[in-house]
Amino acid sequence: MSLHHILVVDDNKEIRDLLGRFLRMHDFKVTAARDGYEMRECLRNGPIDLLVLDLMLPGDDGLKLCRELRSTSAVPIIMLTAMGEETDRIVGLEMGADDYVAKPFNPRELLARIKAVLRRTTMPGDQFDPPNSGGRILRFADWQLDLVRRELRSPDGALVELTTGEYDLLLAFVENPQRVLTRDQLLDITRSRAASAFDRTIDVQVSRLRRKVETDAEQSMIKTVRGAGYVFAATVERL
């Protein structure tokens, strides 16, 4: 089995070297880049399974690079942000990052986040398809979610790119239709980590997902339940 290839983009040489050594010890292939220019060169040279992307970079910053990547790729991205900068984390998620880790960080925490994101990205479809549960395609409002290929297709058959976080969130909704899910429940289902009292990541991901699957504002599938959370109002059938 080939090693997962991680690209670390950080202008701090000590962090690049530290993460390179640490991740290689845990059986990852690691490439390092100092800035957006080197990042683009690395991406041209071969496939990358996940990016660890620092927010504060010389030249194009992490937010701009994240937005650029999301225009052409669904490669998982974990952003490194300054401690306490909630606004930066929220904007990063709005740009399409899958997760974030605040500096200074424990390498083991980052390793756990990397493994969690890669698990969600590469998880076989049959783990979401228990025995006797029917087919592996879920249909709602003429949309189709393929659990094997982890693909979403619009009513006209077009493939819709989803980040890891967006896919996990949509899966949580379609597996629990007509049920109110609190933000804490959604964080548990999609991120497997505790949320702080001010963690708005689910709200950000819901907003991004709505923009992709709701073409008619008057026919909202993901409804906000004031003071409770969200409910997926569409009827879901398993093909």
Per-residue pLDDT tens for 63-76? 999 989 988 888 89
**What are the residues whose beta carbons fall under 8 Å from the beta carbon of 151, sequence distance 6 or more?**
145, 159
pLDDT bin (cut points 50, 70, 90) of residue 124 is very low
pLDDT above 70 coverage of the chain, percent: 86
Counts of helices then strands in the chain (DSSP H, E): 8, 13
Joined together, the tokens standing for residue 114 give 């990397």
Q: Whole domain around residue 154: which residue ranges?
A: 125-238
State the CATH number of the domain containing residue 60.
3.40.50.2300
Q: Point out the domain boundary residue: 105, 122, 139.
A: 122
Q: Are 84 and 153 found together in one domain?
A: no
**Domain count along the chain:** 2
- Distance CA(167)–CA(105), nearest Å, equals 27
Q: What is the pLDDT of residue 60?
A: 92
Q: Are 18 and 107 found together in one domain?
A: yes
Q: Point out the domain boundary residue: 87, 122, 157.
A: 122
Query: Does pLDDT of 21 surpass 90?
Result: yes
pTM of the model: 0.63
Q: Are 88 and 140 found together in one domain?
A: no
Q: What is the pLDDT of residue 126?
A: 39
- Distance CA(3)–CA(28), nearest Å, equals 6
- Rounded average pLDDT over 172-198: 74
- Distance CA(166)–CA(206), nearest Å, equals 8
